[in-house]
Amino acid sequence: MNKYNQNLLSLYVHWPYCESKCPYCDFNSHVNEKINVNDWIQSYKNQLLAMKEELIENNINLKHLDTIFFGGGTPSLMPLKIVESIIDLSKEIFGFEKDIEITLEANPSSYESKKFIKFKQMGINRLSIGAQSLNNNHLKFLGRLHNIKDIKIALNDASEIFENISIDLIYAFYGQKIHDWANELESFLSTYNLQHLSLYQLTIEEGTKFFKDHKNGIIKLIDDNKAAEFYNISNKVLSDFRFVKYEISNYAKIGFKCKHNLNYWKSENWIGVGPGAYGRLWSLNKNKYRVEYQNYKNPKTWLSKNLLQPKFEKITKLNTYVSDIDTLTMGLRLYEGLEISKINNLSIINFRSLKELQKQNIVSFKDDILKVNKNHMIKLNSILDYLISH
Ligand SMILES: C[S@@+](CC[C@H](N)C(=O)[O-])C[C@H]1O[C@@H](n2cnc3c(N)ncnc32)[C@H](O)[C@@H]1O
Ligand code: SF4
């Protein structure tokens, strides 16, 4: 039995629609269609009420939400009435901690910028803007509908309203020059006062247009050495601008780490509502175990299943092995590392491999904290593969 006491509760709300489908994206996102606002509110409400019951059933004595995250898809396209209803309902059902963080993902378009003030009035206090690139040619390559000018307008509008703004960028693709990327980042960070950045190296995901293009030789990938060079230069630029790297892809100014994502990486409790969203709770019934709530992925199926009464596609009691692997792989993404006592059965770790990794100064293990050393974070997947007993 692990000693770890969970005490945080988050809510993830998935909105599955976008203006168009980006060629690299395998998220549960679909091109906009006509929807019935009241039906959507009712389905989210049914799911929120069901999850309140689940907290009680599983003996989880958490009364208030610490964070909410509207993710997608493109939640800035959500009808305002839906966003407002979800915030009001979740406050009524779960209660809010005083310093609750409420994030919404937004795309930089003029239509969405006009809604920022309304989002703020509803309680959103953190905006995550999907800029994706700081170069017009690369934005075209990534199939984005906006350009640099739109990003600038969105950021100017957002910074008048929000004190906590993050942007997402994709980088490290074939043809991109490392020095151009570093210069773009530098000039951008000199202009805008951001609190948080998520920098993702482009990955090719099955089922996307880029996957087909890659198979047909239209898109190539960069090699691992080049990827490491991109990673190192990004770390340097961000650190020059006083961002602290706290997770493999995430950088924050002091006091602005994303509390919601920290809850995932620290394997806390979260509720997931909306198409394809999943939630995980630590049940405290008899033996402590993890329960996963999986939602129907297809928006229309999700809506029809949840409109009259709540229905998850699957509720799974996770076995110790699965939840321990998850705790380890999520926890090691953090620079501060993982409290090893969170793991129930330490036999998932191959201690001979651990010793070897320590000897090579790739990981450190001291006072219950296991962490991957900074310079080796880029190789996290192969480190995990070596570390986990097979
Ligand atoms: C749910 S998506 C984005 C939300 C929003 N709709 C947008 O496009 O800005 C979350 C982030 O994952 C990143 N992402 C998605 N697919 C990716 C891929 N194949 N490679 C690298 N990053 C990816 C993008 O930076 C994106 O902003
Ligand atoms: S990257 Fe964002 S906007 Fe593009 S399809 Fe995915 S979720 Fe939608």
Shortest-distance Cα residue to atom 7 of ligand 2? 73
| Closest ligand to residue 133's CA | 1
In this prediction, residue 1 carries a pLDDT of 40
Q: Could you identify the residue written with the tokens 């993830």?
A: 12
Rg (CA), the chain: 21
Which parts of 29-172 fold into alpha helices (H)? 37-57, 80-94, 110-113, 116-122, 136-141, 148-161
Distance CA 103, CA 84 (A): 13
Is any atom of ligand 1 closer than 6 Å to the C-beta of 275?
no
In this prediction, residue 287 carries a pLDDT of 80
pLDDT in tens, 186-212: 999 999 999 999 999 999 999 999 999
Nearest to 258, CA basis, from 167, 155, 345: 167
Distance CA 67, CA 216 (A): 43
The Cα angle at residue 13 between residues 10 and 16, in degrees rounded to 5: 155
Distance CA 305, CA 302 (A): 5
Quickly list DSSP for 354-381.
HHHHHHTTSEEEETTEEEE-GGGGGGHH
What atom of ligand 2 comes closest to residue 18's alpha carbon?
8
Residues contacting residue 99 through CB under 8 Å, at least 6 positions apart: none
Q: Is the per-residue pLDDT at 374 higher than 90?
A: no
In this prediction, residue 126 carries a pLDDT of 98
Q: Is the per-residue pLDDT at 184 higher than 80?
A: yes
Distance CA 96, CA 91 (A): 6
What atom of ligand 2 comes closest to residue 144's alpha carbon?
4
Distance CA 349, CA 387 (A): 6
Q: What spacing in Å lies between the alpha carbon of 158 and ligand 1's midpoint?
A: 20
Mean pLDDT of the residues in the chain: 94
| Closest ligand to residue 168's CA | 1
Between 45 and 342, the more confident residue is 45
Q: What spacing in Å lies between the alpha carbon of 74 and ligand 2's midpoint?
A: 7
Please provide residue 194's backbone torsions phi and psi, each rounded to the nearest 5 degrees: -100, 160
Q: Is the per-residue pLDDT at 150 higher than 60?
A: yes
Pocket test for ligand 2, best of 19, 20, 27, 107 (most atoms within 8 A of CB): 27
Cis peptide bond upstream of 73, omega within 30: yes
Can you give the pTM of this predicted structure? 0.95
Distance CA 365, CA 339 (A): 10
- Residue 252 pairs in a beta bridge with 196, 244
b (16+ CB within 10 A) / e for 343-360: bbeeebbeeebbeebeee
pLDDT in tens, 61-115: 877 999 999 999 999 999 999 999 999 999 999 999 999 999 999 999 866 777 9
pLDDT in tens, 277-292: 999 999 988 788 899 9
Q: Is 315 helix (H, G, I), strand (E, B) or coil?
A: strand
| Confidence category of residue 390, pLDDT binned at 50, 70, 90 | confident
Is any atom of ligand 1 closer than 6 Å to the C-beta of 25?
yes
In this prediction, residue 142 carries a pLDDT of 97
Is any atom of ligand 1 closer than 6 Å to the C-beta of 20?
no
- The β-bridge relationship of strands 9-15 and 65-72 is parallel
In this prediction, residue 2 carries a pLDDT of 45
| Closest ligand to residue 227's CA | 1
What atom of ligand 1 comes closest to residue 74's alpha carbon?
6
Kindly state the average pLDDT of the residues 308-317: 97
**Which domains, and CATH codes, for the chain?**
9-263 (3.20.20.70), 320-390 (1.10.10)
| Residue 340 CA: distances (Å) to CA of 2, 76, 200, 330 | 9, 38, 27, 12
In this prediction, residue 246 carries a pLDDT of 96
In the chain, what is the greatest distance between 2 CA atoms, to the nearest angstrom?
A: 60
Q: Is the per-residue pLDDT at 266 higher than 50?
A: yes
| Dihedral (Cα; 245, 247, 249, 253), 10-degree rounding | -40
Is any atom of ligand 2 closer than 6 Å to the C-beta of 139?
no
Q: Is the per-residue pLDDT at 165 higher than 50?
A: yes
